[in-house]
Amino acid sequence: EGLVEELGALAARESAACGINWIFSPCAAVALDLRWGRTYESFSEDPALCGRLSAAEVRGIQRCGLPMAACAKHWVADGGTALGTGKFDMGGIGKAVKSFGLDQGNADCDDAELRATHVAPYLPALAEGVLTVMVSYSSLNGVKCHASRALVTGLLKEELGFRGVVVSDYNAVQQCGDSYSAAVCKVVNAGVDIVMTAGGLFGDLTWRRQLEELEAAARARLAEGGGEGEGEGEG
């Protein structure tokens, strides 16, 4: 734990020297299958060890003596996705679908398993005051995590009391609906605070157009007298 904390502080100081004050780490995922495409990001298959080391990295990053935010990711159960459910599709960036892949797949688990295996590693990081949390590309029981109000707002923000910033993964919004407008409404209503986007770099909507789509959807919703909208549908 001491070494991870020290390395976190080192990364934070180096990032600060480059003008960066936000590090997308630690990864609190529990890798349950060595074939998973993001196994290299996980500390362990042991939830308790993942939790301790995630907390150590948060301490190192956020207590380095400089203004720096850590980011626990990827919320949640990304390490439990099943073989055959994943594909490479970063919001339309990847053209080749690889059905045998585990990246961005689906995790089937009940509430008890979700909490004991996949939520548990986040608790020490939350207790250390991690400032941000990133949502996973993957799905839980067939529902995109980015579009799940139950996971983002209900569990993370309300039940666990997280008061920091929730950020999307890179171009993940586009995976949650047939149109950008529909997708971004699902994601924002689920509780995501910041949308991370390529901004048109890979042929999708420019960042300015994405903002316009979100603003138009919000104004239309307000004009209808709508509330929080739909955040539980499948993406």
Burial class (CB in 10 A: 0-12, 13-18, 19+), 49: middle
Is 169 among the catalytic positions?
yes
From the list 169, 178, 193, 204, the catalytic residue is 169
* Residue (of 63, 43, 61) closest to 52 by Cα position: 43
φ and ψ of 72, to 5 deg: -80, 135
127 token code pair: 């207790």
Using alpha carbons, list the distances in angstroms from residue 96 to 30, 35, 87, 100, 234: 27, 19, 8, 12, 22
Give the residue carrying structure tokens 């993001």.
Answer: 38
Name every residue whose Cβ is closer than 8 Å to that of residue 148 and which is 6 or more positions away in sequence: 140, 190, 231, 232
Using alpha carbons, list the distances in angstroms from residue 57 to 23, 50, 52, 227: 11, 11, 9, 38
Catalytic machinery residues? 169
